[in-house]
Structure 1
């Protein structure tokens, strides 16, 4: 009776240890993915800041050039300003589209797949 109980305790200790190792590896994977996500976020923020600065500069120069050209052809100032506003809004919409696509690509699917594999992943490994 005592040997059976000792064996069960040893088996339980091994089971607990294996579960601790598994949990540690999963949490390590989550921590690694979080580090990658934070680094990617910082890079994305820096890139967006640089893009915004350069685009503002470029658009101001382009709008000023187009306005000067339109003024020389006799367009009214109001129509020039309305066209400049429209072009600026369209460019902002384009930037929002690019940023939204980048954010969609930043996810935790690798950790989720490690925890709960898809049916496709299970059938491919079999």
Structure 2
């Protein structure tokens, strides 16, 4: 018998192999999308929280000093991470789609159309 044999002499199921090959890029794409969302939305929310804390001064009597600043930094990081997981898709999805299109060599819709001539008032 000259067939292809897997481990222990069993013939591999080609359907399963091709199915896993198709699922693997989709799974990798999902992981990239999650990391993209984590980075884009996490950066946005962390910068937003940083700007929020700059809008008010430290209280004269109830400031916890360096420990409070460290805790506040860690809390902001946690809040930004949770916000990016739960609400980050609205920021990251359009950017991720543009990123994917650039990888595939697809130009944005707006650049494929020639610019319109401005109307000249008479």
Shorter chain as denominator, the TM-score bin is 0.3 to 0.5
Q: Which has the higher helix share?
A: 1
Structure ranking higher on relative contact order (CA contacts 8 Å, 6+ apart): 1
Q: TM-score of the superposition, structure 2-length normalised?
A: 0.47
If the length of structure 1 is used for normalisation, what is the TM-score? 0.46
